Structure formats: C-alpha cells, structure tokens
Structure 1
Amino acid sequence: MARLMVDGDELVMGLAWWEKLITRHGDVRVPLAAVEQVSIQPDWWRALRGIRVRTHALAVPGALCLGVWRHGDGQDFLALRRPRRSPTVVVDLRTAAPYARVAVSCPPGSQMVSAINTALDRQRRAEAGEDS
C-alpha cells in the first residue's frame, strides 16, 4: 500500500511493488518547495478529479484508484483505497511540479500531515535564513 514520507527536501509517495507495476511508475518524488497545501479528506473519493490515463492507472469502482488522472489543470497521481477508517492525505502542488496533486489513503493521516507541515516549516525557515 502506498505511503507518504518526507525524505530530506522531497516529499515521496512510496509505492508497493505491485503499484509500481500497474502504474508503470516508480516512487513519486516532489520537492517540498512545490507543496502548496496539505489537507485531510475524510472521504477518499473527494480527492478524485478528471479521468484516468488508461495506460498508467487502475480504477476498481468503489474500491481503488491508482495512478495518473488527467484533468483541466494538469495531472494528479493518486493511490486511493476505500478503507473503512483511513482518511486521505491530499497534497496540492504548485504549477512547477510534475503533478497538480498527489493523494494517498493512509491510516495515520493526521500524523502524516503534521510531519509534512513540520518539514515545510523547517525548509521555509532555512530559506528565510539564507535570504537574510
């Protein structure tokens, strides 16, 4: 099952081997500087936008959305499951990023949002210190 983590100055969506096989994509890496907003959606389907890219995504109605979804603002990379008690972490990205949004269903959603926000604050403080 996919998971989000902070690795240095990057946000990484780590994919399981079978997810990499289905999406034909390795782990998704995005610079922390490209993160615009991080939020939690209690309903996994609210993170969906657009239509899936057939060659790089899998959709099982009501159960799973995995891979690249294309829409008017660009593309999203999603790893969403219909869990019973797992929220969805939604990370909206700036236009310079390879995706407009990455979203993943994960049980410790609030802990992940806190970890990402802490890393973002640390990076922004470091950038502000360099500029001064």
Structure 2
Amino acid sequence: MTRTHKEIFERYLYAGSITRNPDAIAEMFTEDGVFEAPLVPEGHPLPRRLVGRDAIRAGIGAYHQEPAFHGTVNVEETAYVLHDTVAPDVFVAEIDPVFDGPDGQRTTMSLAQIFRVRDGRIAMVRDYFAVPSAARD
C-alpha cells in the first residue's frame, strides 16, 4: 500500500508528539532509516544522528523521558504545511506545534522537517528544531 506524504507525516506526528511512542516511530522507518536533529546541542539526550530502527527507538525513547518536554500537544492549535519537492520521494514539513504545560503555560515550538521516503516508510528525516531555552538551563 502506498501512503501519501500527508498520511506518512500525520502518522509520524501522532506516534511522536502526540503519543510519544518510540516503537511506533521506529516501525515507520526503513530498516536502515536515519533520524537527524542537526540543531540539538552537544550532550543533549537526543543524539544528532540515529541510524537504524533500534537506535531510533532507543534515542527517541530517551528523549521523550526528558521532563522539559512534559506537555500535552494542543492538536487544535497546532498547525503544519507540507511541501512537495521535485523529487517524488522527498517532502518538507513546516510545523508549529503548540504545547499546553501542566502549569497552564502554552508554548509554540516552530520547526521544519525534511522527509525522504522509500516503499511507504521513512528512509530519512532531518528534524530542524531548537531546544526550548528552559531545557538548556
């Protein structure tokens, strides 16, 4: 079954930001899939590069345990735009996820992701996001 870019992205968003399920995220990748987060600082719990499903599962699982990211995604306020490219297997997502914190504080973290897909799975995602300042202190 061939999935559209929108279907792939929405499944990835649900598995990651909404349910924080590292198993579901890892299964979306090809066996040799690559996850990159070039903007995370050295020493961050999320490595800048993860290769293969096991590494993706472990790395993203550890990242989702960090207290700085304990907030609930506000699905109604979150927005995204997908852009196709001239390469049919590559698309770009611009995302403005909104998080509702336990203290009632609302935070938006704008980011961009580049996806490369192969046979309905993610072969590579490059996630350009900056760690919120509270997480860096």
| TM-score, structure 2 normalization | 0.25
Q: Hey, which of these two has a bigger chunk of strand by percent?
A: 1
